[in-house]
Each structure stands twice: as structure tokens, then as C-alpha cells.
Amino acid sequence: MNGVLTLLSFGPAGWGDEIALGVLVTISLALVTLPFGLAAGFTVALAKTSEEPSLRLAANIYTTIFRGLPELLTLFLVFYGAQIAVQQITRVLGANATIEINAFVAGIVALGAVFSAYASEVFVSAFRAIPRGQYEGAYAVGLSRRRTMQLVILPQLIRLALPGLSNLWLILLKETSLVSVIGLADILRQTGIAARVSKEAFLFFGIACLLYLGLSVLSSFAFSAIERRVSSSGPSR
């Protein structure tokens, strides 16, 4: 027991500092990716519900690609493919600089693209659940399209989309573990290093399981509180 406590302690004798850093990186990556994915997903949803055929086609192609590709492959394409593309561009411009894509940024872009593809479907379903009369009533009282979206549609859209988005957040939280393969010091990478060095794989991967489960449980409580608050602020039935 003392040996386990020593391995999990903070300081030079244990791995507590490294694992805590991994938790911070995991949470930071997920929190930074979330608004990017939500904004992109909402934009794609607007395109998919647009009356312009070209916008609908482009949005459908986007969601088909990022929902169809494995998340790990998307991460590799962004991390390695973007580096190759940038280096080719610099060569064309006459520069020979070696440019490396930051692993944290690559994780945000790749996970955000996948998240947005799925979030767009949630938003589209929420849009379709709002009666057309809501738009017509808002226009009838003189609201512009922008004010209608802001005052009438968005509050209802949030209530309708929140359960689906909360599920996507939990998926995003777990998928942050993929960035360990490109060198980002998240929970899985830090516990994996500790497991290899200490030869205590069961202990450290068990710690990783508990950390991910803990984050998921806390997220579930947080989203439940948000859903109750949003529902209580909505129109009574």
C-alpha cells in the first residue's frame, strides 16, 4: 500500500504531478474545442436548413466526411497533413523553414471538426422541431430575421438541442484521449508513461479510467443542472 501511495504522490518520487498535468490538458482541450465545435456545428446547421442548394450540398458533404472518417484518422490528417501542406506552400514561396503544427491546436481542429459534424445534426433536428408559425408570428410583429433568431428561435433551440449536445460533450471528453498518439501530455499519455516506467500498468490505467469516469460524472451533473435551469426559464406548459 505504501508503494502505491508513493507512486501516486506529488514530487520527484511519484507521478501525481504528471497525472495532474494530464488532467489539466484533457479538460483544457475539451473546453477549448467545445465552443469551436458548437459555432461550426451551428453554422453548418444553418447551411443545411438554408434554401440555397449549394449551401445545403456543401454542408452535407462536410458532415458526411467528418462523420464517416474515424476520429483518429482525422487527427492524423490534420496533424501530419497540415504540416506537409504548410511546408509545401513555404517551398513554393521560396522559404525552406521547417514548420511543425502544435499538437494542442491539431487536437482542437480535428476534434472540433468531428464534434461540429455531429452537433450540426442535433441543431438541424432542433430547428425542425420548432413550428414554422414561430417564425411567421415574429415576422408579423415586425421582428427582423436576426432579431427573430435571437429572441424567438435561439431560446427554444437551446432547450431542444441541450440533451443531444450533452451527449456529444461526453463523447468529446473521451475522444481527447486520442491526442496522446501525437504527443500531447493528456491523461492517457501521462498514465501510459507512468505505467511503462513503473511496470504498474493495471494501477495507472485504472487511475486513468477513474479520472475519465469522474470527469464524465461531473459533466453529467453540470449538464443536468443546466437543463433544469434552461427548462425552468422556458415557457410553462
Q: Does residue 237 have a pLDDT over 50? A: no
Give the model's pLDDT for residue 21.
94
Average pLDDT of the chain, as a whole number: 88
Q: Say whether pLDDT at 28 is over 80.
A: yes
Q: What is the pLDDT of residues 139-150, one digit of tens each?
A: 888 888 788 888
pLDDT at 1: 61
Please enumerate, as own/partner, the contacts of 2-11 that have beta carbons within 8 Å and a separation of 24 or more.
4/203, 7/194, 7/198, 7/200, 7/203, 7/204, 8/207
Residue 135's pLDDT is: 79
What is the arithmetic mean of pLDDT over 34-53?
Answer: 93
- Reported as a single tens digit per residue, the pLDDT across 115-155 is 999 999 999 999 888 888 887 788 888 888 788 888 888 88
Looking at residues 172-190, what average pLDDT do you find? 92
Would the pLDDT of 88 be above 90? no
Q: Is the predicted pLDDT of residue 90 greater than 80, yes or no?
A: no
pLDDT level of residue 92 (50, 70, 90 thresholds): confident
Q: Is the entire prediction scored with pTM above 0.85? A: yes
Domains along the chain with CATH numbers:
8-233 (1.10.3720.10)
